[in-house]
Structure 1
Amino acid sequence: MQLTLPPLLRLLLPALFCPLCLTAGAAFAAEKTPTPILPISAQQAKALGIETETLARAGAGLAAGLPAEVRVPNEQLRVVAAPLAGMVVAIDVAAGQSVKKGQTLARLASPALLGAERDYLQAAQAAQLATQAARRDEQLFAEGIIAEARVQATRSAFEQASVGLAARREELRLAGVSDTALTSLAQQRRLPSEVLIAAPMAGVVLEQTVQTGQRVDAAAPLFRIGRLSPLWLEIQVPASLAASLREGLAVNVAVSGAAGNSSASGRIINVGRQIGAGSQTVTVRAQLDKGADRLSPGQMVEASIDVPVSSGAPAAGDAGKVFRVAQTALARIDSLTYVFVAEGEGFRAQPVNTVGQAGDYVLLQSPALNAQTRIATRGLSSLKSAWSVLRDSAESKAAAADSAAKPAGGK
């Protein structure tokens, strides 16, 4: 098949192949050998529309398009559990509903409540009798009618009765019985069999795990309530980028809604140390203080982070630096990303690692780049075509050389 090239590339072919006809095959055959240089003069580069720019470090790049999940901070979450075993007879709220602290969420019919109330009434009666006995004996002792040993025994019985009553009262409080209900129980001697399940804080019902008529065990979870301001954002960041992040960096999330596009913003509060084995990402946690009301827990979003980049004279330490280039300066060849580096009277295809993007710009890393490197920003189609032709030709020459060498080596 005959390969058709643009006229300007046909003019370049002699310059491309002659200097490298002896070495290109070896260069492509060696896995780690740097890619060959495309010899292109300044006049030829101008004719092909190739423009170059100095590769400068990004003072504060923007890593965009990072996958993230909206979460509720741990200290703003409460799980409401059944205080006693019983049956759910009524549910007064639903998932997604806002509730106030102390608001009734559900009612639970529990035989165990009757036993706890009975024990409380018995303890209250015993405490009342012990109080009366203590008062009487204190008066008799003051009048010298009884011995001190008797009044001490009465005092001990009073203290034991008081402790028993306090313990029974606390059991009912843990079961969800309010102080008002306890007072009514002590005065009226009525034994209600339903427990009112109340909200422990103001927030939103995130989850309802029971239905009316369902029997539950003690400590079974019934509801999950959360306060939705502020919110957390758990961002999955490539390990190569996470090393340059720190607490306090700005984070933004674009939010689309019926009212139009808006954004939520916050700051990084924690950079994880564990790298996911499969994804090779690090979890970075941010707190969203503005615009969090437009997001919902569990929502998957894309976050952007202001990436700080250390500055200084270009040196051997440039291997870990991040650079910001236009997307038009990147060439994708065989699933790899390259930039064309200007070297002498030509260009070399340099593979790079992209770590994020911001609009029309891309953040990239490569040990071979520094702040003095010049790369092609326009005319990449011509460079890519010429480099592909050179590579294919070199690979063919290398394959032919190997085929010719094998019979000789086998003799």
Structure 2
Amino acid sequence: MNARKLTTVLLVAAALSAAGYGLYKFGMNRGMGMSPAPQSAPSAQEAGADQATGRKVLYWHDPMVPGQKFDKPGKSPFMDMQLVPVYADEAGDEGSVSISPRVEQNLGIRTAEVTKGRLASSVEAVGNVAYNERDVAVVQARSNGYVEQLFVRAPLDQVKKGQPLAALYVPDWVAVQEEYLTAKQMKGPGTDGLVEGARQRMRLAGMTDAQIRGVESSGKVQPRVTISAPISGVVAELAVREGMTFASGAPMFRINGLSTIWVNAEVPEAAAAEVRPGTRVEARTPALPGTVLHGKVSAILPEVEATTRTLTARVELANPQQRLVPGMFATVSFTPAASAETLMVPTEAVIQTGTRSVVMVAQGQGKFSPVDVQTGRESNGQTQILKGLDLGQKIIVSGQFLIDSEASLRGTTNRLSGPVPTEGNQQTAGPTTHRAQGKVEDIDKDEITLSHDPIPSMQWPAMTMGFKVPVAGAPKNLAIGDTVNFEFQQTKDGSFQITSISPAGPSMQGMGDMGAAAIKHGAHTPAAMGDAKK
């Protein structure tokens, strides 16, 4: 080959090298989404701030290896690219979601402020009317005898205090009455003691003081005794009939008063903390339309219904005109004592994921971030916030599910807002192996430079970068220009090491090979082009 042809070949190679290098840098800038940084390192005064924007720089990092931080700008030690600054005003935005104003308007996002106030507590429950078991009178037989006549013949008959219930014949009372009248008619010293002894025997026989006075005033034996109702109410139990005998101590009548009644209200277990003895209530019943009955909780029964998971609140109410009877239904509204002021948000703003409660906080300029909150009671569409928010913060009330569905929100917040995995648990999980295809650009004892295709598992675009050689060293048959399939892992220091590499077939042909060869031999700079011309 003569000198003229050699010169022509060198010029063509230099031109192709320059074109290849230009395409390579353009692809790098487009793939990494950044402009090339100046080659000269800034001074120490420039290291803390960006002169162009005036924004404070916290640190520099390689977007492909975000875990490694650097205190000054420069070239990444992991691949052929400049380090990217992280500004102070962006450091806390990792977990936020940005939405343009137009999209925000289309989604119909509404916000509200975290307010402070008292929750208007109102607990309602359904109950049934029952007798007031503290207003009960039991009439028992005080001696053996017979029932001669009944004035109350059926259970649930209403009676008034002093109303006759039954006429009884008591033989034992006849004997003591005759003894008493005989002793009273006797004259002489010591008769007073006989009279008092006879009176005492009448008491022991079961006669009341009123019945004894009746015998004294009439001066006659009264073989039949009429018993009366001790209170007003309803005969709940009737245990005797006309003509039957009865023994001493046998129950005859059970009378329940109706001046007050109980309402046994079934209170949900979750609302039991708001209902206490003494809590005032309002009761309404279909039997008295338009009537509101006022009362208070007399007791909370220490038992939970296993089926309905409710507690029974015993409410005592006045019974006007005795129109409320056992078995009626009633709706009870409890009014707990006024609570202290607390932070509140609309209930619809709280997203319940099943394991935690999340609220989307508006940070301004179209940015929203999820915040874990601890909730308390709910009332009238308001939820108490115990922890996680501050007064005056703006939160999303509607549209938060359109920003991020509950499932994706759970994954996003766990990834962005959760604890950062430590080196220890990374080792426990094991390093991830990534696979790719590329072309060998250079080989030395510590590093193999590869021009690889996009790697989806790392979210990398196509680029040229260096990888540490395998632990066993580079394969003997590996040559520059070979197209290879390789696998690699990220090491503890943030670098990437090849774990396996094997030929994938013939390398690229044509102009790409010529440009790559020119780059490999150093003919990829304007200076090199000048040298080639010479």
Instruction: Count matched residues.
Output: 324
Instruction: Give 1:104's aligned residue.
Output: 164
Deviations 1:315-365 (A, max 9, x none): xxx7xxxx6856x5566666x89574536413447574556x5xxx25755
2:330 is aligned with 1:301 = yes
* Shift of residue 302, structure 1, vs aligned partner: 3.4
In 2, the alpha carbon distance for the partners of 1:67 and 1:386 equals 37
In 2, the alpha carbon distance for the partners of 1:117 and 1:218 equals 16
In structure 2, relative to structure 1, the CA distance for the partners of 1:283 and 1:218 (3 Å cut) is same
In structure 2, relative to structure 1, the CA distance for the partners of 1:289 and 1:191 (3 Å cut) is closer
Residue 285 of structure 2 aligns to which amino acid in structure 1?
V
In structure 2, relative to structure 1, the CA distance for the partners of 1:75 and 1:190 (3 Å cut) is closer
* Shift of residue 305, structure 1, vs aligned partner: 1.6
2:107 is aligned with 1:48 = yes
Residue 219 of structure 1 aligns to which amino acid in structure 2?
G
In 2, the alpha carbon distance for the partners of 1:175 and 1:80 equals 16
Alignment of 1:330-369 (within 5 A): 340=359, 342=361, 344=363, 345-348=368-371, 350=373, 352=375, 354=377, 361=380, 367-368=386-387
Note if contact 1:176-1:197 (Cα within 8 Å) is conserved in structure 2.
no
In 2, the alpha carbon distance for the partners of 1:198 and 1:172 equals 15
Residue 191 of structure 1 aligns to which amino acid in structure 2?
P
TM-score normalised to structure 2 length: 0.47
Q: Secondary structure at the match of 1:122?
A: helix
Note if contact 1:234-1:283 (Cα within 8 Å) is conserved in structure 2.
yes
Alignment of 1:185-334 (within 5 A): 186-187=219-220, 189=221, 191-192=223-224, 195-205=225-235, 207-210=236-239, 212=241, 217-235=247-265, 237=267, 249-257=279-287, 260-268=289-297, 270=298, 276=304, 285-289=314-318, 293=322, 295-297=324-326, 299-312=328-341, 328=348
Residue 39 of structure 1 aligns to which amino acid in structure 2?
V
Instruction: Give 1:122's aligned residue.
Output: 179
In 1, the alpha carbon distance for the partners of 2:398 and 2:320 equals 39
In 2, the alpha carbon distance for the partners of 1:393 and 1:271 equals 49
Note if contact 1:38-1:348 (Cα within 8 Å) is conserved in structure 2.
no
Residue 51 of structure 1 aligns to which amino acid in structure 2?
R
* Shift of residue 386, structure 1, vs aligned partner: 0.5
Deviations 1:202-224 (A, max 9, x none): 2233x125263676543343433
Instruction: Give 2:122's aligned residue.
Output: 63
* Shift of residue 230, structure 1, vs aligned partner: 3.6
In 2, the alpha carbon distance for the partners of 1:291 and 1:37 equals 63
In 1, the alpha carbon distance for the partners of 2:389 and 2:157 equals 55
In 2, the alpha carbon distance for the partners of 1:232 and 1:341 equals 47
Larger radius of gyration: 2
Residue 63 of structure 1 aligns to which amino acid in structure 2?
S
- Which fold has the larger relative contact order, with Cα–Cα distance below 8 Å and residues 6 or more apart in sequence? 1
Residue 324 of structure 2 aligns to which amino acid in structure 1?
L
Instruction: Give 1:158's aligned residue.
Output: 192
Note if contact 1:341-1:350 (Cα within 8 Å) is conserved in structure 2.
no
In 2, the alpha carbon distance for the partners of 1:42 and 1:96 equals 75
Instruction: Give 1:39's aligned residue.
Output: 97
In 1, the alpha carbon distance for the partners of 2:302 and 2:291 equals 32
Q: Secondary structure at the match of 1:219?
A: coil
Ranges in structure 1 where 5+ consecutive residues have no aligned partner: 1-21, 23-35, 134-153, 396-401
Note if contact 1:63-1:363 (Cα within 8 Å) is conserved in structure 2.
no
Q: Percent identity?
A: 20
In 2, the alpha carbon distance for the partners of 1:369 and 1:166 equals 79
Note if contact 1:82-1:217 (Cα within 8 Å) is conserved in structure 2.
yes
Match of 2:405 among 377, 386, 401: 386
Q: Secondary structure at the match of 1:78?
A: strand
Q: Secondary structure at the match of 1:61?
A: coil
* Shift of residue 160, structure 1, vs aligned partner: 4.2
Higher helix share: 1
In 1, the alpha carbon distance for the partners of 2:250 and 2:345 equals 53
